Structure 1
Amino acid sequence: MVRISQHRIFEDKNNLIYILNQYSYLKSIFTVAMDTLKKLLYADSIEFSYTHSVDILTGVHIQCEIGEVVGLLGRNGCGKSTLMKIIFGVIKPKLAFIRINDIRYSKGYLSKNICYLPQQKFLPNYLAVTDVIKLMVEDKIKQNALLNDDEIIVTIKNQKVAELSGGEIRYLELMILLQKNSDFYLLDEPFSGVSPYMKERIQQIILSHNDKGFIISDHHYQTVLETATRIVLLQNGGCRRIESKKDLEMFYVPEGTFDEE
């Protein structure tokens, strides 16, 4: 029979404890590292006013992770478009802290990881749809996919932008924007003027992009509710998280709006 000394047992026990402690330490470092690498659009302490007497945004905080569709609701004039413009960097705030994937930016557009769809159309009227796509979509495979596989674009690709309806232009702009290899997208009125079929297509495409994060705002709040994974209400210069339709009736829409659902 092999005898094991108490000293040997004690030594082995200490070695085991040491190994377990090292494992826990390495695991904690790995967890912190993974949290640091988590892709996140983070905007905080945003303040803006058009005059010295009227504050539009006062310490606004909003954030978006990959896989999220954040619906930004609020009454006309509350600052939704202004907030997106500040995050992207096309207007200057009084104060703003913008971080994209843990890197701070004075203007969002300085990062390749954010795209912005403004309310106003940006495609030149004199170009044909095919030329616009070839000009604005660098990847040849993505060009061909839009021109040959997207059933809406296929029907308009030989027309000039000036000949398109407002909804067709909006759809085309959004599809072009989504070909960018960015992590986050700010979409201001993405459903404006589109047909019911285009609306469904846009919703499907947004929700299929689990590799991207979206902040969307639209005056068709029902469409935003259908599309968003969570809702934020911009009210009185700040953002309020909406947890339920009851919250919406309390702070945004008339009481009883959702009674028939």
Structure 2
Amino acid sequence: MSSLLDVTDLRGGYAAADEIVRGAALRVEPGEIVALIGPNGAGKSTLLKMIAGLLRPRSGHVRFRDREIGGLAAPDISRLGLSFVPQERNVFGTMTVAENLEMGGFLDRAQMRPRMEELYQRFPMLADKRRAAARTLSGGQRQILAMAMALMNAPSLLLLDEPTAGLSPRAAEELFGTIVALNRDGVAILMVEQNALEALAVSARAYVLVQGRAEREGAAGALALDPTVRDLFLGGAAAPMLAASRGDSS
């Protein structure tokens, strides 16, 4: 079976002279959660934007469902079933929750109302606050709304850029629970996340991006126990806690 997403030797950045992403390669299988971790400035968010069509790759390949999408415009990629949730400015603050969902569903207006009702059932908080301005929501609630907007296109792959940034530990934990629940319903997820330990705990596999390319990859639990990964990105004492929480014996 082909990978849902297959990225090979991707290069590019924000300008013609930039090369923030330097030969990155990764894959996401159907139904997987894959974490993308690494130091600040490694190119993680830039890589997601290139996959999503917000930035045009200079070279390399992005294949989604066996179709080359590298260089396609973001709306065209979204129509194919790949949705992106940016870290910042991911909701319209002055618009209501319902209006934000309508904006998320503008590519498929015929299915807009049924999908809004489905999302209200999945996220009762959104139903309760459908007439409230998005700016009045808490940080965690805004992230739920941002993901719901992306889900309006019924994607098979969701790209999340730092979904728990700025959230309290409790709100971050709840959001990770939401991510796991979405995945159990069949949505594959590629996630850039600053809370590397927590991201590895909910992921099947992970990549460590350093200077624009994946330096390490493998099962999330194994990477959490890798001494280099632990020392550089997780903090030396944290990884054994992950092993215990996952029931790993190694």
Paired AA for residue 61 in structure 2: F
Kindly report which structure 2 residues correspond to 1:197-208, keeping only aligned pairs within 5 A, or say none. 198-208=174-184
Secondary structure of the structure 2 residue equivalent to 1:120: coil
Q: Does 1:253 align with 2:245?
A: no
In the TM superposition, 1:10-49 aligns within 5 A as: 35=1, 38=2, 40-49=4-13
Secondary structure of the corresponding residue to residue 143 of structure 1: helix
Aligned to 2:94: 126
Q: 2: distance between equivalents of 1:62 and 1:84?
A: 11
* TM norm structure 1: 0.75
Number of aligned residue pairs: 224
Task: Provide Cα deviations, 1:56-94, integer angstroms capped at 9, x if missing partner.
Answer: 322110111111111000111110000001111211332
Query: Could you say which structure has the larger radius of gyration?
Result: 1
2:93 matched to 1:93?
no
Q: Alpha carbons of 1:145 and 1:258: their partners in 2 closer, same or farther (altered >3 Å)? A: same
SS at the partner of 1:119?
A: coil
1:52, 1:133 → 2: CA distance? Answer: 35
> Is the alpha carbon distance of 1:189 and 1:196 closer, same or farther for their aligned partners in structure 2, counting shifts above 3 Å?
closer
In structure 2, distance between residues paired with 1:187 and 1:256 = 27
Query: Which ranges of structure 2 fall in alignment gaps of 5 or more residues?
Result: 106-110, 245-250
**For residues 135 and 236 of structure 1, do their structure 2 counterparts lie closer, same or farther at Cα, with a shift above 3 Å needed?**
closer
RMSD: 2.6
Secondary structure at the aligned position of 2:165 is classed as coil
Q: Of residues 185, 190, 199 in structure 1, which corresponds to 2:158?
A: 185
Amino acid corresponding to residue 133 of structure 1 in structure 2: L
* Structure 1 residues 51-62: aligned runs within 5 Å: 55-62=19-26
What do residues 153-173 of structure 1 show as CA deviations (whole Å, max 9, x unaligned)?
234223111222232211111
Give per-residue Cα distances to partners, 1:168-187, cap 9 Å, x unaligned. Answer: 21111102212322221211
1:103-129 Cα shifts (integer Å, max 9, x gaps) = 112335333221111112232222111
User: Which residue identity does 1:221 align to in structure 2?
Assistant: A
Matching residue within 104, 114, 124 for 2:82: 114
